[in-house]
Amino acid sequence: MKRSMAAWWFVGPALIVLGVFFFVPVIGALLMSLTDFDLYALSDWRNLRFIGFHNYATLLQDPLFWKSLWNTLYFVVLGVPLSIGASLGAALLVNSKLGRFRSFFRTVYFAPVVTTLVAVAVVWRYIFHTRYGFLNYSLSGLGIDPIDWMGDPHWAMPAIVILAVWKNFGYNMIILLAALQNIPEDLYEAARIDGASGWQVFRHITIPGIAPVLLLVSILTMTGYFQLFAEPYVMTEGGPLQSTLSVLYFMYEEGFKWWSLGRASAVAFLLFVLMFLVTAFQLRLGRQRGDR
């Protein structure tokens, strides 16, 4: 039929592009992770050798890989709740009928989301500057001694978390705001007539009303945070003492500094599997809660 032929002309180009530049590389990553793909193989594929699960085996014995894994998990575990909390707080504020100029504030809160990560990382590195940065200056007003944000292994990752929360909270705020506005007004009305306190309303109407969306943004934020790379690349170069080396940074160095592309593919795959498992776990947890 002529029409179905025409349809293929419409979807064909996009499907070919996705196939060649996405689906083939996904399978390619799996295959490459089973080889010793390196600089020699890159220039001539005949140098390629199949080595089974050797890359995975050596990775799991590499302390630096584990270090990058823990660093990434630390960033996720610290960053995701803080981000969601900030997003929810901002959404509640912007949604409150008591507030004025609410669309103005919404725009301000959202602005960091569209900024270039590399550029704002450069700006924050300066804000975190031990001697001349504004953060330590503000903290000194509270009587807190200067913190060596970028130079102290204990503070470098929290500093990156602060940047990430600042940069990203506006995104989830928009989504949560839409969810808040979907809660029927009469529920609040009824609660008020029953004399419920502000906290009770929040706990028993607001939170259940946005719970599914809250789960969704948690998962989206988490998968985003697992892909930490540009912040440490710009602010700390993975240091000090590899305390901000993320899995993706590790992959980048394995792949494009040492040209162990096979090993780097294995890192990418392990990260993907980990993200997949954690997402599946969260979804399951969310569903169980929902059933009750």
Partner 1 sequence: MKRRGPAIIVNLLLVIGAVLTAFPLLWMLSVSFMPTGAASTYPPPLFPAAPTLDNYRELFANHNAGRYMLNSAIVASLATLIALVLNTMAGYAFAKLRFKGRERIFQTLLGALVIPAQVTMIPLFALVKEMGLISTYGGVIVPSLASVFGIFLIRQYALSLPDELLEAARIDGASEGRIFWSLVVPLLQPILVTLAILTFLATWNDFMWPLIVLTDQKLHTLPVALAGLSREHVQDNELMMAGSVITVLPVLALFLALQRYYIAGILAGSVKG
Report helix, strand or coil for 259. Answer: coil
Q: What residues numbered 24-53 form the site for partner 1, per CB under 8 A?
A: 24-26, 28-29, 32, 37, 42
Query: Is residue 181 a contact partner of residue 95, using CB atoms and an 8 Å limit?
Result: yes
Contact 109, 94 (CB under 8 A): yes
Query: CA torsion, points 189, 194, 199, 205, in degrees to nearest 10?
Result: -50
23 contacts partner 1 (rule: CB under 8 A): yes
Which of 156, 157, 159, 264 touches partner 1 (CB under 8 A)?
264
When binding is defined by CB under 8 A, the residue of 3, 46, 257, 292 that contacts partner 1 is 3
Helix (H, G, I), strand (E, B) or coil at 50: strand
Residue bearing tokens 């929040």? 202
- The letter for the amino acid at 173 is M
Q: How far is the CB of 130 from partner 1 (least distance, A)?
A: 11
The answer to the question of residue 256 lying near partner 1 (CB under 8 A) is: yes
Is 226 among the residues that bind partner 1 (CB under 8 A)? yes
- In which residue are the tokens 């507030």 written? 99
Closest CB 1 distance from partner 1, rounded Å: 9
What CA–CA distance (Å, rounded) separates 127 from 224?
24
- Cβ nearer to partner 1, comparing 175 with 211: 175
Instruction: By CB under 8 A, tell whether 290 contacts partner 1.
Output: no
Q: Is 14 in the site for partner 1 (CB under 8 A)?
A: yes
| Minimum distance, C-beta of residue 17 to partner 1, in the bound complex (Å) | 4
Round to the nearest angstrom and report the end-to-end CA distance of the chain. Answer: 51
Q: Which of these ranges, 50-58, 71-79, 103-111, 203-211, lies near partner 1 under the rule CB under 8 A?
A: 103-111
Evaluate whether 209 touches 183 at the Cβ level (below 8 Å).
yes
Say whether residue 271 binds partner 1 (CB under 8 A): yes
Q: CB of residue 9 vs partner 1: minimum separation in angstroms?
A: 8
Alpha helices in the chain (DSSP H): 2-18, 24-32, 39-43, 54-60, 63-95, 102-114, 117-127, 134-141, 153-181, 185-193, 198-201, 207-225, 230-235, 247-256, 261-291
Identity of the residue numbered 131: R
Give me 18's structure tokens. Answer: 């996705």
Q: Which of 60, 202, 237, 289 binds partner 1 (CB under 8 A)?
A: 237
Does residue 21 belong to the site contacting partner 1 (CB under 8 A)?
yes
Decide whether 60 or 108 has the Cβ nearer to partner 1: 108
Among 57, 77, 111, 277, binds partner 1 (CB under 8 A): 111
Taking the complex as a whole, how short is the minimal distance between the CB of residue 186 and partner 1, in angstroms? Answer: 21
Residues 189-218 that bind partner 1 (CB under 8 A): 213, 216-217
Site residues (CB under 8 A) for partner 1, limited to 115-144: 115-120, 122-127, 129, 131-134, 137
Axis-axis angle for helices 153-181, 117-127 (nearest 10) = 130
